[in-house]
Amino acid sequence: MSRRDWVPANLEEGVISAMRLEIGAFHVTDIKFGDHTGYSKGILTVNKEELLKVVKEDEHITTADLKIVHPGDDVVLCPVKEAVEMRCKVSGGHGIFPGVLSEMEIAGSGRTHCLQDCSLLVVGEHWGGFQDGLIAMGGKYQHHTIFGDMVNLVLVADTDEEFERHEQQKKNHALRWAGMRLAEYVGQCVKELEPENVEVYDLPALNERGPEVDKLPRVVYLLQPQTQMEAMGYNTLIYGWDGNHILPTFMHPNELLDGCLVSGSFMPTSSKISTYEFAVNPMIKKLYEQHGKTINFLGVVMSTLNVKMDEKVRCVKMAGQICTSLGVDAAVVVEEGYGNPDVDYTAMLVELERLGIKTIGLSDECTGRDGASQPLVSMNPVTDALVSTGNVSQMYEFPKMEVIGELEALARDGNSGGWEGCIHPDGSFVMENNGMFCANHISGYSKRTCADF
């Protein structure tokens, strides 16, 4: 292989693109079925037959249908496997999931057009698992997820992946990848259109920010995505690379906002960060908003969550070294999950505080159904600035509602919030928050917290 075979053309020409990302927003007020796929004046029209052909490009998809749900519909979706924002790259890249659906390239520059205020949800027609969840579009628990408050295009499908049919843990590969393909396909309908507004994310290199910014507190967003599974195919993907195989690294926030992360298929679903939320990250956007005003937002330290103690210690120490080398003053540490990962989470907070870095922790907690248990598996007095996004063990009681998918999956298939007998003969049911899809919104969307009185 010659140098010209692998060096990008723009580098040969002596041009290196800046990390300036433009998000062209198209605000969807409704989704309708029609004879074409397009967008006009807030209305996203989709051709069902056309889109299902895209879904069935994977021979493992055996049956598929598309539905549309609106806020206030008396409907629950179960088992929900993924949520994705429908978008497309206009410039600065070839696809919305580099390293996954398109060639490997650094995300975060150029322009991306996004269909906002809506999402694409992927639901199993039958079988669920430990990591799959439930969304209520109406009723008492509508507002417990952001997806209950937006119009959603719903892919309901089944696969021939019999090898994991009766497994509690499922990779959901065919369905998750179908959702990503579909999100990109629908997003293409706004590629040539003029956005209703453009969000600009332009964070210069560390040595190009000027004295006024340099004197502000230096802050990082330290993300611990779910990467615990040693078997491949379940963990968060970083440019298509299984997160279990990475070491802590420093990244530009635009990479996350432009699709470098794909949510995994592991862990109780209320504690999950969906692919939608990885890319529409309100915490990163809030840090951007304060950059140059109250803080110097350096960027993202990407770390991991591990099973073995020596792996936990290694990643915590390496992340700490990155932060000290960057001269970090403060960090927002975000843990995706709870239980065993709490050890990585609190260890990271303690290590950064030991290094003189002020920390805030963002995660959910497991305080038991009575709310009286220890909230984190691992606790330390140093971790005195924690933000809780919800209690995974909180109980919910649902009346009978229309179901998209199969409600029996909640009780039958090992869903982390359900159990045998949780569905009553009259169609009503009870479940733990554990099983509500992304309900705790550790990305920063959560409306819930706990207070010390």
| pLDDT one digit per residue (tens) for the chain, 453 residues | 443 444 444 444 444 447 999 999 999 999 999 999 999 999 999 999 999 999 999 999 999 999 999 999 999 999 999 999 999 999 999 999 999 999 999 999 999 999 999 999 999 999 999 999 999 999 999 999 999 999 999 999 999 998 888 888 999 999 999 999 999 999 999 999 999 999 999 999 999 999 999 999 999 999 999 999 999 999 999 999 999 999 999 999 999 999 999 999 998 999 999 999 999 999 999 999 999 999 999 999 999 999 999 999 999 999 999 999 999 999 999 999 999 999 999 999 999 999 999 999 999 999 999 888 899 999 999 999 999 999 999 999 999 999 999 999 999 999 999 999 999 999 999 999 999 999 999 999 988 766 666
pLDDT score for 451: 64
- The Cα–Cα gap between 98 and 101 comes to 6
Please give the radius of gyration of the chain, using alpha carbons only, rounded to the nearest integer.
Answer: 22
Q: pTM for this structure?
A: 0.94
Q: Are strands 249-251 and 261-262 parallel, antiparallel or unpaired?
A: unpaired
Nearest one of 210, 230, 222, 178 to 359, comparing CA atoms? 222
Tokens read off for 3: 């140098």
Q: Name residue 175's amino acid.
A: L
Structural contact between residues 240 and 104, judged by C-beta atoms closer than 8 angstroms: yes
Q: Mention every residue, 6+ apart, whose C-beta is less than 8 A from residue 390.
A: 270, 364, 365, 433, 439, 440, 446, 448
pLDDT score for 372: 87
pLDDT score for 452: 66
Q: Is 173 helix (H, G, I), strand (E, B) or coil?
A: helix
pLDDT score for 450: 62
- The Cα–Cα gap between 106 and 109 comes to 8
Angle between helices 48-55 and 173-187 (to 10 degrees): 140
pLDDT score for 36: 97
- Rounded (10°) CA dihedral 272, 278, 280, 281: 80
Nearest one of 210, 215, 211, 239 to 225, comparing CA atoms? 239
Alpha-helical regions (H) of 200-274: 211-214, 253-257
Which of the 8 DSSP states describes residue 356?
T
- The Cα–Cα gap between 366 and 383 comes to 16
Residue 295 half-sphere exposure toward CB, CA atoms < 13 A: 20
